[in-house]
Amino acid sequence: MCGIVGYVGSREAAPIIVEGLKRLEYRGYDSAGLAVQRGGRIVTLKKVGKVSHLESALPAGAITGSVGMGHTRWATHGEPSEVNAHPHLDCSGSIAVIHNGVIENYSSLKKKLIAGGHQFLSETDTEVLSHLIEELHKAGGGLEQAVRKALHQVKGTYGIVVMSSHEPRKLIVARKGSPLVIGFGEGEYLIASDPSALIRHTRKVTYMEDGEYAVISAEGISTKTLDDVTIQKSVEELSFELDQIERGGFEHFMLKEIHEQPETIRNALRGRLQVEEGEVKLGGLEQMREKLISARRIILLGCGTSWHAGLVGEYMLEQIAGIPTEVEYASEFRYRSPVIQQGDVVIAISQSGETADTLAALREAKAKGATVLGIVNVVGSTIARETQGGVYIHAGPEIGVASTKAFTSQLTVLALVTLMVARAKGLLHVDYKLLMKELDALPEKVGKVLDGAARIREIAGELKNARNFLYLGRGANFPVALEGALKLKEISYIHAEGYPAAEMKHGPIALIDEHMPVVCIVPKDAIYEKVMSNVQEVKARRGRILAVANEDDDDIGHLAEFVIRVPRTFGFFGPILNVIPLQLLAYYIAVARGTNVDQPRNLAKSVTVE
Residues annotated as catalytic (active site), given as ranges? 2, 605
Report long-range pairs for 458-463 (Cβ below 8 Å, ≥24 apart). Answer: 459/546, 459/562, 459/564, 459/585, 459/588, 460/584, 460/585, 460/587, 460/588, 460/589, 460/591, 460/592, 461/588, 461/592, 462/562, 463/517, 463/544, 463/546, 463/585, 463/589
From the centroid of its chain, how far is CA 214? 26
Amino acid identity, position 192: A
CB-based burial, 342-360: b 16+ in 10 Å, e otherwise: eebbbbbbbbbbbbbbbbb
| CA quadruple 13, 19, 21, 23: dihedral sign | negative
Taking a C-beta distance cutoff of 8 angstroms, is the pair 161, 171 a contact? yes
Please name the residue ranges forming H helices in 541-593.
574-593
Strand, helix or coil for residue 496: strand
Cα(364)–Cα(299) distance, integer angstroms = 13
Cα(349)–Cα(461) distance, integer angstroms = 34
Per DSSP, the residues of 213-239 read: EEEEETTEEEEEETTS-EE----EE--
Helices 142-153 and 127-137 cross at an angle (nearest 10°) of 130
Distances (CA, A) of 522 to 311, 352, 548: 18, 32, 6
- 332 CB contacts (<8 Å, ≥6 apart)? none
Write the secondary structure of 87-139 as one string of H (helix), E (strand) and C (coil): CEECCCCCEEEEEEEEECCHHHHHHHHHHCCCCCCCCCCCHHHHHHHHHHHCC
Strand, helix or coil for residue 19: helix
Taking a C-beta distance cutoff of 8 angstroms, is the pair 214, 173 a contact? yes
Cα(393)–Cα(397) distance, integer angstroms = 11
Cα(197)–Cα(177) distance, integer angstroms = 19
State phi, psi for 520 to the nearest 5 degrees.
-115, 130
> Which phi-psi region, left, alpha or beta, contains residue 503 (left: φ > 0; alpha: ψ -120 to 50)?
alpha
Cα(250)–Cα(489) distance, integer angstroms = 22
Order the strands of the 212-217 sheet from edge to edge: 88-89, 95-103, 156-164, 170-176, 212-217, 220-225, 230-231
Amino acid identity, position 60: A
